[in-house]
């Protein structure tokens, strides 16, 4: 009951740091010293000092089989937890959350992480998901180096379980937006290496992976890996669907891959595709409208981007309120148009909020700055939103959440981008 009470009566999630010291006599005895803190990513102002009573169970992986050992972690530092191996004297690989059953995140020394990732096939799905969550969380907290993190992404991307593969690329967007140009080719190579074979094995199959995972993998290969062959292949499909070279052929691409084909057509044939996509958005089915809108924000021309923003502001245009928000969000997230869109947003704030944002959504308007990753942008956003307080009552919570998100992103970028660039280069 005391253990449960320690979780119910205080906020936060514990992070358990587990050491590793294996000594071999006739049997291997492995000391696993434990340290608990409140989990906090880089840049967080989270209050520390909590202490939980945590049932910690570790899975020991030996060549001859597995074992499970448990201890109640009651102190901030506990050094008396040890496991004894089989008679062959082998040291175990340790999974610090057996069956993924514990309510805590974990981290370890780099050598222990590397050993666990090499034994990922010895873990059940719950353990893999717990490992994946803890590795990402530990990386965000500055507890794991980029070499280990990339190794984990590669392992998870090639796992047989859909949920694991789907989550493997959680930080690819961060890398895509913030790596320097000098690391771009290494990053694109990394994305191709982890996803290309998996994509080829599932695309077109009548499976969950073929229907749900293939689009995600394709998107990563097109947008992040800059796979020119795939872009050209799907640009042809998108052009056929739109009828850019003759009569429109709506059978040219499966419905679950439509948005990527239209995006590719926009990437390769923007001049011809732009008006056709506007027409499809105006007259197509709901799926076609959404796919066309996604493709339109792939625009490269500043003039056409401005045209989209004008439509977002115009109540008489074909863009409804949700479409208008999607355009602004989309262009704000594109490096080519982010500054222009932010300046447009500041200039047209009164008109946009007054005409195109329903009252129920006005408190959330600060979320438009959620893609920023610099403290100076956080201050800009804060100043803008607070100066418009009378137009957006109830804005405080969303603004605080958005500012926190920006600060965390900025802290991660400052701490990890250089290291991440080197890790990608040296793979």
pLDDT(398) > 50: yes
Average pLDDT, integer, range 215-238: 96
Q: For residue 250, tell me if it sits in a domain.
A: no
Q: For residue 402, tell me if it sits in a domain.
A: no
pLDDT(392) > 90: yes
- The set of residues, in sequence order, having a beta carbon less than 8 Å from that of 189 and lying 6+ positions away, is 225, 424, 427
pLDDT at 25: 77
pLDDT(269) > 70: yes
Q: For residue 408, tell me if it sits in a domain.
A: no
Average pLDDT, integer, range 100-121: 97
Q: For residue 265, tell me if it sits in a domain.
A: no
Based on the structure, what is the number of domains in the chain?
Answer: 1
**pLDDT, the chain, mean:** 94
Average pLDDT, integer, range 67-74: 96
pLDDT at 259: 96
Q: For residue 136, tell me if it sits in a domain.
A: yes
CA angle at 196 for the pair 263 and 168, rounded to the nearest 5°: 90
pLDDT at 33: 97
Q: For residue 174, tell me if it sits in a domain.
A: no
pLDDT(6) > 80: no
pLDDT(4) > 70: no
Which residues span the domain enclosing 49?
2-164
Q: For residue 352, tell me if it sits in a domain.
A: no
**Which range among 8-12, 153-157, 166-170, 301-305 shows the weakest confidence by mean pLDDT?**
8-12
pLDDT at 412: 97
pLDDT at 1: 43
Cβ atoms of 399 and 385 within 8 Å: the answer is: yes
Q: pLDDT tens across 139-188, in order?
A: 999 999 999 999 999 999 999 999 999 999 999 989 998 999 999 999 99
Backbone angles phi, psi at 364, to 5 degrees: -95, 10
Backbone angles phi, psi at 84, to 5 degrees: -115, 130
CATH number for the domain that contains residue 44: 2.60.40.1840
Average pLDDT, integer, range 348-370: 97
Q: What percent of the chain has pLDDT over 70?
A: 97
pLDDT(424) > 90: yes
Q: For residue 207, tell me if it sits in a domain.
A: no
pLDDT at 12: 85
Q: What percent of the chain has pLDDT over 90?
A: 90
């Amino acid at each position: 009951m005391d253990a449960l009470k320690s979780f119910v009566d205080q906020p936060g999630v514990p992070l358990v740091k587990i050491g590793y010291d294996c000594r071999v006599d006739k049997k291997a005895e492995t000391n696993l010293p434990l340290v608990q803190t409140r989990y906090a990513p880089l840049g967080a102002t989270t209050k520390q000092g909590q202490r939980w009573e945590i049932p910690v169970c570790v899975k020991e992986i030996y060549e001859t089989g597995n074992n499970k050992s448990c201890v109640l972690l009651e102190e901030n530092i506990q050094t008396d937890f040890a496991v004894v191996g089989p008679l062959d004297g082998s040291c175990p690989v340790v999974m610090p959350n057996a069956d993924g059953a514990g309510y805590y995140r974990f981290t370890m020394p780099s050598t222990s992480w590397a050993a666990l990732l090499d034994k990922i096939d010895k873990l059940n799905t719950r353990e893999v998901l717990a490992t994946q969550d803890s590795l990402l969380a530990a990386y965000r907290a500055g507890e794991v180096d980029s070499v280990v993190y990339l190794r984990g992404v590669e392992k998870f991307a090639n796992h047989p379980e859909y949920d694991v593969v789907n989550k493997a690329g959680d930080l690819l967007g961060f890398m895509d937006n913030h790596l320097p140009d000098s690391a771009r080719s290494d990053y694109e190579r990394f994305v191709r290496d982890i996803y290309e074979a998996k994509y080829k094995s599932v695309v077109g199959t009548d499976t969950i992976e073929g229907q749900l995972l293939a689009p995600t993998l394709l998107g990563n290969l097109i947008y992040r890996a800059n796979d020119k062959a795939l872009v050209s292949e799907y640009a042809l499909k998108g052009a056929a669907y739109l009828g850019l070279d003759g009569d429109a052929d709506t059978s040219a691409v499966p419905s679950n891959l439509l948005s990527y084909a239209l995006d590719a057509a926009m990437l390769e044939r923007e001049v011809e595709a732009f008006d056709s996509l506007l027409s499809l958005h105006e007259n197509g089915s709901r799926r076609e409208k959404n796919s066309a809108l996604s493709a339109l924000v792939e625009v490269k021309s500043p003039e056409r981007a401005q045209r989209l923003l004008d439509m977002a502001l115009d109540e008489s245009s074909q863009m409804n309120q949700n479409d208008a928000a999607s355009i602004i969000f989309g262009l704000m997230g594109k490096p080519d148009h982010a500054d222009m869109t932010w300046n447009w947003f500041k200039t047209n704030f009164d008109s946009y909020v007054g005409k195109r944002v329903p009252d129920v959504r006005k408190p959330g308007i600060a979320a438009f700055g959620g893609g920023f990753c610099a403290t100076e942008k956080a201050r800009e956003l804060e100043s803008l939103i607070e100066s418009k307080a009378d137009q957006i009552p109830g804005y405080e919570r969303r603004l605080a959440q958005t500012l926190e998100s920006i600060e965390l992103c900025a802290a991660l970028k400052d701490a990890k981008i250089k290291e991440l660039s080197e890790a990608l280069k040296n793979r």
